Amino acid sequence: MAYMAIKFFTVSSIKPVVAHLTLSIGNHLAASNKVLWLVSGGSSAAIAAGTAKSIDSEGLENIRNLSVSLIDERFGPVGHNDSNWQQLNKAGFKIKGAQMLPVLKNVSLVQTAKDYAQFIEKALKEHNYILGLVGIGADGHTLGIKPDSPATKSRGLICAYEWDDYVRLTLAPQAIKKFDEIVAYATGEEKHWVLDDLDKPISPKQQPAQYLKTARKLTVYNDYKGTPL
């Protein structure tokens, strides 16, 4: 598995992360690229919402060429409390003029997974720049890929599976390879060991955060290691 070098930056707020995402999206829209921005909930929800507000305030050109959806979701009815999209909505995640595309549609898990897979396959082909915003868990998981879960064995672009916390829908490792850029955010002492391990050749099935290194560019903002910002 080929890995790219990782850039680590130490931050004390989310402002540098928001600035990074806004600049990346803005530059690619200005170049008339069609941008697909995939986000998660949890610890990165505030960053996604802050970036959305920044994009609106900047008045980026070609905003119609920006499509926004989820990199993972927790299955259930539209708007349920644990939904990543619902968390983002509560945080104020809206971008005027962009295509905002949720995953849940009040259909069965099988149908939701099928629709999600078809959407991702089409979107990856139709967009010129694929950007992801992800978190990293204290257990080494990222996206909705839990250690030793069915998602680590998936050969498709997405995986739907039931775990001990949620019924999860997530992009699978094969999809991560398609990303032009991934921005990860991980803070908290309980995650420091995972950040140290990112530089090591550890099995991604045991520590899914390792899969992030298969993207073309990976930047990790954290409170522990790297260049201070």
pLDDT in the model for residue 4: 66
Q: What is the largest CA-CA distance in the chain?
A: 46
Nearest to 186 by CA among 145, 227, 224, 147: 224
User: Is the pLDDT reported for residue 107 higher than 90?
Assistant: yes
pLDDT in the model for residue 5: 78
Question: What's the mean pLDDT when you consider all of the chain?
Answer: 96
User: Is the pLDDT reported for residue 3 higher than 80?
Assistant: no
User: Is the pLDDT reported for residue 189 higher than 60?
Assistant: yes
Query: Is this model's pTM higher than 0.85 or not?
Result: yes
The model's confidence at residue 43, banded by pLDDT at 50, 70 and 90, is confident
Mean pLDDT, range 55-71, rounded to an integer: 95
Report strand pairing: 167-171 vs 158-162: antiparallel
Mean pLDDT, range 149-164, rounded to an integer: 96
What secondary structure does DSSP assign to 91-157, as a single string? TT---TTSEEE-S--SS-HHHHHHHHHHHHHHHHHH-SEEEEEEEB-TTS-BTTB-TTSGGGG--SS
Task: Give the DSSP H/E element, type plus range, for residue 192.
Answer: helix 192-197
pLDDT in the model for residue 68: 98
